[in-house]
Structure 1
Amino acid sequence: MPRSETPLRSDLFPEISPYASGMLAVDGRHTIYWEQSGNPEGVPVVFLHGGPGAGSAPVHRRFFDPQFYRIVVFDQRGCGRSMPLGDLQDNTTAHLVSDMEKLRSHLGVGRWLLFGGSWGSTLALAYGLRHPERTMGFILRGIFLGTRSEIDWFLHGMRSIFPEAWRDFAEHLPASERTDLLSNYYRRLIDRNPDVHRPAARAWSRYEAACSTLYPTARAPFESDHGGFALALSRVEAHYFRHNTFLAEGWPWDELNRVRNLPCTIVQGRYDIVCPPVTAETLSRAWPEARFVIVPDAGHSALEPGIRAALVNATESYRLSVADDQLFAPRFPWEAA
């Protein structure tokens, strides 16, 4: 059952700049952007952005106490400041997990806390199940497990709640192509002609943005897309959706016991339409040791007030639990084994 929370902090930490950043070549084609902020000697936490394809932003550093955490933020391959932007070659979930391991080793991190929402929750679980010995715990938000039913909900089911937004999304395509939205959007998104892929990217991204918050928000970043954000988001997202997010049928249930001993907080907006609460509730039932927090007045976005507060409360709760453990532990728990 969802648990009630006593707030430790109600909003984000102040703005902070990175103390280090760089580009890491993860193979012969892809180079990923990374940055670190906060306390260089602190508990490592890695922020995993959503999408797939969305990229990171400066605000993502602010979920963590900079005096306590060593905050690692990076852009997944094909996203944000990583290069080449929007590239789909050698871009699968397994590649992203491998990239995280390369980044962890590059930064000299022994173990880290995994913090991810939406697609970021998928990637956090994929990494944690593959590398439980390198994982300190999880803070997950807006749970998405990459199943065909979740993808079909995004493409069709959200119409029942946001019919106007879905109509704009579907009617970007000719009537003859609307029976297969994913394939026909994908064909446009990978087209080399900007007059074809840019309008499709804006339509896809506007649809997702319109359905992501409980109350309407500005959609200006998607209107012109000078930085390629909408194209990277929509192209990479469609690529992953066409391949069932490159995860096996039945994942992650058969492997969940590998991480159930690790601390986990699941934060879910009650009115999350993009990733409905049923998935988070199913995960919480399979992982009864996890703390399950339902935010009663929020949708999908991590930046809605209630979600922000619950996520910061989760990072603060973890900070306090580590502080308590230090009274008895012979070594800091984040040190390399």
Structure 2
Amino acid sequence: MPHYTSYDETELAYRVLPARDGSAGPPLICLAGGPGRDAAYLGDLGGLNARHTLVIPDSRGTGDSPPAADASGYAFPGLAEDLEALRRHLGLERFALLAHDAAAATAQAYAAAHPERLSLLILVCPGARLQGELPEDAWEIFESRSGEPWWQDAYAAVRLLPDTTDPAEVRRLLLRAAPMAYGRWDEPQRAHAESEGEQLGPVARAGFWQGVDEAGRRAVLARLREVPCPVLVITGDRDAVTGMRAGELVAESFPDGRVRPLRGAGHYPWVDEPDLFRPAVEDFLAHHPAHP
């Protein structure tokens, strides 16, 4: 895998998925969430590399990237500065950015600090922790599916997870709870879910939200009002992890934010509905002059 040198001289890894149609257009940088999850779970984002080159970094302590020297390196503002180092390494004046799940916080921190560097921003199934709200619709979505055969076991696992510390047991509980994250529980979803336990870096996960106080959160939100680039927020109407309302709150934080809900999709819409997810992203990239 190629590497780049970040602000503190740490060598961090990334992978490149070239556009299969041979397009030589600008790359789309894609950030994995978790937080602290190996970016391998993004795969090719439902075939998004058919027309676009994807650059997918491994954040500190995940994949082929080394652990951070101290806890601040795992916090999302520090990860945003890793992204800025990657931009410089790639020689991009401006670029389009896609971020999934918790990485939406990294992307928002980057947009607040470096608004002039983004041409487009795509946030997939974000939470609204930066917005200071925890909407309840995710739980409502989960409860609405109580008739499905996996629901009772997933419910029990969700209740046990907050008080479980043994890593092996956490991995087992995550797999039991996994169906709530998908629009349906078929073979592609099962295969995708089975990798989660081994892909999570517990130290990177624990450090992601550390070191950001209320004043810092409000400062990021205030700067988002000045971000000029168009922002697309994709949500899934079966996402029982972050729900749909959080995406609406995130989109409202930007002057040019819009929401694209996908029917039948959960927290990983490129797994559930790749033929809805891929065109949604491609249309946004193609129909806006900010992205050549």
Fold shared per TM-score above 0.5: yes
Alignment of 1:266-281 (within 5 A): 266-281=233-248
What SS does the corresponding residue of 1:98 show, helix, strand or coil?
helix
1:61–1:312 distance in 2 versus 1, CA, 3 Å? closer
1:204–1:131 distance in 2 versus 1, CA, 3 Å? farther
Judge which range, 38-47 or 236-245, deviates more. Answer: 236-245
1:312–1:54 distance in 2 versus 1, CA, 3 Å? same
1:270–1:151 distance in 2 versus 1, CA, 3 Å? closer
| Distance (Å, rounded) in 1 between the aligned partners of 2:64 and 2:226 | 33
Among candidates 4, 16, 19, match of residue 36 of structure 1: 16
1:152–1:29 distance in 2 versus 1, CA, 3 Å? farther
Quote the residue 1:60 is aligned against.
Answer: 44
Among candidates 216, 226, 233, match of residue 258 of structure 1: 226
- AA aligned to 1:254 is A
Assess if the C-alpha contact under 8 Å between 1:169 and 1:204 holds in 2.
yes
Q: CA deviation at 1:78?
A: 1.1
Instruction: Give the number of aligned pairs.
Output: 276
Alignment of 1:307-318 (within 5 A): 308-318=274-284
Q: Percent identity?
A: 19
Q: What per-residue deviation string (whole Å, max 9, x for no partner) do you get for residues 128-181 of structure 1?
A: 121111101111211213356549999x99985656324235446xxxxxxxx3
Q: TM-score, normalised by structure 2?
A: 0.77
Assess if the C-alpha contact under 8 Å between 2:34 and 2:205 holds in 1.
yes
Quote the residue 2:147 is aligned against.
Answer: none
1:252–1:78 distance in 2 versus 1, CA, 3 Å? same
| Distance (Å, rounded) in 2 between the aligned partners of 1:33 and 1:208 | 30
Assess if the C-alpha contact under 8 Å between 1:24 and 1:33 holds in 2.
yes
Q: What per-residue deviation string (whole Å, max 9, x for no partner) do you get for residues 41-92 of structure 1?
A: 412210011111122227236553555x34211111111222239x856311
**Structure 1: gaps spanning 5 or more residues:** 1-20, 173-180, 189-195, 326-331
Q: CA deviation at 1:319?
A: 4.0
The yes-or-no answer on 1:213 pairing with 2:182 is yes
Q: TM-score, normalised by structure 1?
A: 0.68
Among candidates 260, 264, 275, match of residue 297 of structure 1: 264
Assess if the C-alpha contact under 8 Å between 1:49 and 1:117 holds in 2.
yes
Quote the residue 1:142 is aligned against.
Answer: 125
Assess if the C-alpha contact under 8 Å between 1:45 and 1:113 holds in 2.
yes
Among candidates 163, 168, 173, match of residue 157 of structure 2: 168
Q: CA deviation at 1:277?
A: 0.9
| Distance (Å, rounded) in 1 between the aligned partners of 2:173 and 2:72 | 21
Judge which range, 69-78 or 309-318, deviates more. Answer: 309-318
Quote the residue 1:133 is aligned against.
Answer: 116
Assess if the C-alpha contact under 8 Å between 1:93 and 1:247 holds in 2.
no
What SS does the corresponding residue of 2:96 show, helix, strand or coil?
strand
- AA aligned to 1:256 is L
Q: CA deviation at 1:244?
A: 6.7
Q: CA deviation at 1:298?
A: 1.8
